Amino acid sequence: MNQFNIRSHRSQTGTKISHARQTTIDIQHSTKNLIVGAGLAGCLLAWRLEQAGQSVTLIGSTQLPNASAVAAGVINPVTGRWMTKTWNFDSLQPQAEATYRELERQFNIQCYHPIPLIRYCQNSIDAKRMGKRMRNPRYADVLGPPIPTGEGPDAILDTHGSFHINQAAYVDLPLLLTTLRQHFAVTGAFRDETFIHAALKREPTGWAYRDVEADKVIFCEGVGMRDNPWFNDLPLTPAKGETLTVECPTLELPRAIYHHRKWILPYGDHSFRIGATFSNHDPSPEPTQAGAQELLESVRSFITAEHTLTIRQHLAGLRPTTKDSRPLIGEHPTERGLHVFNGLGAKGASLAPELTRQFLAHLLEGEPLDPEIDIARCLEPTT
Ligand SMILES: Cc1cc2nc3c(=O)[nH]c(=O)nc-3n(C[C@H](O)[C@H](O)[C@H](O)COP(=O)(O)OP(=O)(O)OC[C@H]3O[C@@H](n4cnc5c(N)ncnc54)[C@H](O)[C@@H]3O)c2cc1C
């Protein structure tokens, strides 16, 4: 990305506009927005812009790699080896729940599924760490009581004990995306096609893409951002993930997500989702034999009895992750009107609703972006 003096840029665009003044501007002028990429980020943004009375065209290809279509959509407040609370979870969760519930009501679908989550300690260090977290008041709302060894479901090995994680859920992202794309297709606002960056031209008053005129172009391309000539210098790293859906008539598990070395989610009809692998070394979005094997071996290592698991679906995709695990949001430093909304990493289901809210407040009301998510942090100031 071009070198750029962040301070002078901020003085042009980052000035907070008073609410009363902005309201007048909004009434006079509905912005024309072109959104590129119809994954979770692009679809939610398009929907919120439409609600705000803005004009939206959504261009996204369902043939290109699409992380949202393969994600399990799990919202888990305590993750990773260190069992840490998700960044900003206390503001992300209420916004996520409210947003998905609002979508459910508007489109008469069921996509948000709160569910108990049980995390298993792998060794005595894990158990000690879990005890420490439980004594930390910051974790009081997300950690439930510990489950002593031998008191969890018989089907799962619990040598070092386990504990409840509260406020977990999973979001049916494929259903949500199909619903939103169909909604925009009906009005002709969604086009299922590949966006060709070279065809985007700057006009005196904005941007033109073939027959589409736009004041703002918002790129929500996931890992496709690597081919974007305006934003491909931003530090986005694809992290491959694979999941399996298996069938097993003999395995009985009460409804919950069981997070051992990998997690297993019973759907209640003898089918189970198992996930997910994580690799920074394979940039291809295709499922692999090695990925399937890793998942099956992991599950077999913590299921107490022998079960035949028949693979029904094997999915793979590329998470748009960043080095500092923070999203990449903001306007291009020199090309006014070009924006990026990306870097949802491994947590799109929890992040997207609140980030969409913040980005809209920025676009429509001139609210400054949180510096932690603003791409300005990736730009080098010139002297
Ligand atoms: C295996 C796996 C499991 C996961 N599990 C979870 C989970 O349990 N919970 C969770 O929160 N997150 C999970 N994630 C992460 C989650 O998928 C992402 O955080 C989120 O979906 C990213 O959404 P996005 O819209 O930014 O990107 P994407 O969903 O990748 O959407 C980008 C879209 O842009 C389109 N596009 C790109 N370039 C172009 C172009 N030139 N023209 C047209 N279209 C273009 C692509 O086709 C794609 O549809 C998982 C990811 C993987 C891979």
* CA 159 to chain centroid: 33
> Whose Cα sits closest to atom 21 in ligand 1?
68
Find the 307 Cα to ligand 1 centroid distance in Å.
Answer: 32
Atom of ligand 1 nearest to the CA of 316: 1
Q: What token pair was written down for 330?
A: 């903001």
Q: Confirm whether 93 is domain-assigned.
A: no
Q: Mention every residue, 6+ apart, whose C-beta is less than 8 A from residue 27.
A: none
- Domain identity same for 356 and 249: no
Q: Confirm whether 124 is domain-assigned.
A: yes
Atom of ligand 1 nearest to the CA of 63: 47
**pLDDT(11) > 60:** no
CA dist 116 and 144 (Å) reads: 10
- Order of strands across the sheet that contains 74-75: 74-75, 169-171, 112-114
CA dist 295 and 243 (Å) reads: 8
pLDDT of residue 1: 47
- Domain identity same for 223 and 163: no
Find the 241 Cα to ligand 1 centroid distance in Å.
Answer: 11
pLDDT in tens, 72-130: 999 999 999 899 999 999 999 999 999 999 999 999 999 999 999 999 999 999 999 99
pLDDT in tens, 357-377: 999 999 999 999 999 999 999
- Domain identity same for 17 and 30: yes
Between 250 and 8, the higher pLDDT residue:
250
Find the 41 Cα to ligand 1 centroid distance in Å.
Answer: 8
CA dist 273 and 264 (Å) reads: 6
* Strand 169-171 with 74-75, pairing: antiparallel
Mean pLDDT of 235-239: 96
- Domain identity same for 154 and 190: no
Domain region containing 64: 6-69+174-235+324-378
- Domain identity same for 331 and 310: no
- In CATH, what number is assigned to the domain containing residue 370? 3.50.50.60
Tokens 């709302």 belong to residue: 141
Atom of ligand 1 nearest to the CA of 195: 42
pLDDT of residue 27: 38
Q: Confirm whether 244 is domain-assigned.
A: yes
Global pTM value: 0.92
> Whose Cα sits closest to atom 35 in ligand 1?
37
For residue 5, name the pLDDT band (cuts at 50, 70, 90): very low
pLDDT of residue 10: 32
Q: What token pair was written down for 142?
A: 């997300």
pLDDT of residue 200: 98
CA dist 152 and 155 (Å) reads: 9
Tokens 């298993």 belong to residue: 120
> Whose Cα sits closest to atom 19 in ligand 1?
348
pLDDT in tens, 277-333: 999 999 999 999 999 999 999 999 999 988 999 999 999 999 999 999 999 999 999
Domain end position, chosen among 322, 352, 370: 322
Find the 9 Cα to ligand 1 centroid distance in Å.
Answer: 30
- In CATH, what number is assigned to the domain containing residue 248? 3.30.9.10
pLDDT of residue 42: 98
pLDDT in tens, 129-152: 999 999 999 999 999 989 999 998
The single-letter DSSP state of residue 138 is: G
133-142 long-range contacts, Cβ below 8 Å, gap at least 24? 133/78, 133/83, 134/163, 138/85, 139/78, 139/85, 141/90, 141/166, 141/167, 142/77, 142/78, 142/85, 142/89, 142/166, 142/167
Burial class (CB in 10 A: 0-12, 13-18, 19+), 16: exposed
Q: Confirm whether 99 is domain-assigned.
A: no
pLDDT of residue 30: 65
- Domain identity same for 253 and 147: yes
Q: What letter represents residue 38's amino acid?
A: A
- Domain identity same for 184 and 223: yes
Find the 325 Cα to ligand 1 centroid distance in Å.
Answer: 15
Q: Show the ligand 1 pocket: residues with CB < 6 angstroms.
A: 36-42, 59-61, 64, 66-68, 70-74, 194-195, 220-222, 224, 241-243, 275-276, 317, 319-320, 342, 344-350
Q: Confirm whether 278 is domain-assigned.
A: yes
Q: Confirm whether 91 is domain-assigned.
A: no
Q: Are 335 and 329 in contact (CB under 8 A)?
A: no
Between 30 and 54, the higher pLDDT residue:
54
Count how many domains the chain has: 2
Q: Are 142 and 85 in contact (CB under 8 A)?
A: yes
Q: Confirm whether 275 is domain-assigned.
A: yes
Measure the CA dihedral 319/323/327/330, to 10°: -120
CA dist 168 and 115 (Å) reads: 6
- Domain identity same for 245 and 154: yes
Percent of the chain residues past pLDDT 90, beyond the cut: 88
Q: Which of 68, 172, 322 to mutate to test the pocket of ligand 1 (most atoms within 8 A of CB)?
A: 68
- Domain identity same for 227 and 350: yes
Q: What are phi and psi of 291, to 5 degrees?
A: -65, -45
- Domain identity same for 24 and 158: no
- Domain identity same for 257 and 226: no
- Domain identity same for 252 and 151: yes
What count of Cα atoms within 13 Å lies in the side-chain half-sphere of residue 382? Answer: 8
Find the 54 Cα to ligand 1 centroid distance in Å.
Answer: 24
Q: Confirm whether 183 is domain-assigned.
A: yes
Q: What are the residues facing 146 on neighbouring strands?
A: 163
For residue 31, name the pLDDT band (cuts at 50, 70, 90): confident
Find the 42 Cα to ligand 1 centroid distance in Å.
Answer: 10
